[in-house]
Structure 1
């Protein structure tokens, strides 16, 4: 079981189930919303429950996905494809230790020009 929350604690959650190995997303949308690279894991939607969610707000980021954040403190917490029953959760929102390790970089074709990826993890263009 994993727990986590936004910065102010107004959105808090529990994950009771398997989590995927985390990835670091370098796409333009994640960089703009998070301020840099967004690291996340994903799980089945049924594994996620909220202990607080009054300030959880969803932003339709594209025709295919929406992003969940706390409207009080601005923490970017979730990403969900409209047609899937899985949900991505920000690694930064989890209470530690998580026991997880970053597994890959995704959307590296869109990464910012101000940094390099210097680890040996797999890099996926999309």
Structure 2
């Protein structure tokens, strides 16, 4: 079991089992919403328990995806592909140790020009 929360604690998250390896997304939407690139894990929704769901606000960023954040502190927590049985959860919300790492960087063609991506980790343009 891994636990996490938003900055103010209004939303608590629990994920049953080990956390999978994370992706780091460099697309312009993730960079603009998070303030940098966004690292997250994809987990089955059945493995996730959320307390404080009434504090989640959803932003429909495309016809296929909505993004969830805390209505109190603004923490960006979820990337939810509609009509799928998985949800992406921000790595930054988890209490440590997480026991995982970043295995890939996606949308690297859109990355910011002010940072470099570490060598030895898979990089994909999309």
TM-score with structure 1 setting the length: 0.95
Is the partner of 2:102 in helix, strand or coil? coil
The root-mean-square deviation of aligned C-alpha atoms, in Å, is 1.1
The answer on whether the counterparts of 1:67 and 1:80 sit within 8 Å (CA) in structure 2 is: yes
Aligned residue in 2 for 1:118: 118
Aligned to 1:49: 49
> Is the CA contact 1:10–1:54 (under 8 Å) kept in the aligned structure 2?
no
TM-score normalised to structure 2 length: 0.95
Q: Deviations over 1:24-61 (max 9, x none)?
A: 11000000000001000110001111122231111101
**CA-CA distance at 1:13 after TM superposition:** 1.2
2: CA distance, partners of 1:19 / 1:43: 8
Mapped to 2, the partners of 1:96 and 1:18 lie a distance apart of 13
Q: 1:18, 1:43 within 8 Å by CA — same for their partners in 2?
A: no
Mapped partners of 1:66, 1:18: distance in 2: 25
Residue in structure 2 matched with residue 68 of structure 1 by the alignment: 68
1:87 counterpart SS class: strand
Aligned length: 126
Q: Is the Cα contact below 8 Å between 1:2 and 1:15 reproduced in 2?
A: yes
> Residues of 1 paired with 2:119 and 2:95: CA distance?
24
Structure 1 gap segments, 5+ residues each: none
CA contact (8 A) 1:3 1:13 kept: yes
The CA distance in 2 between the partners of 1:83 and 1:93, in whole Å, is 24
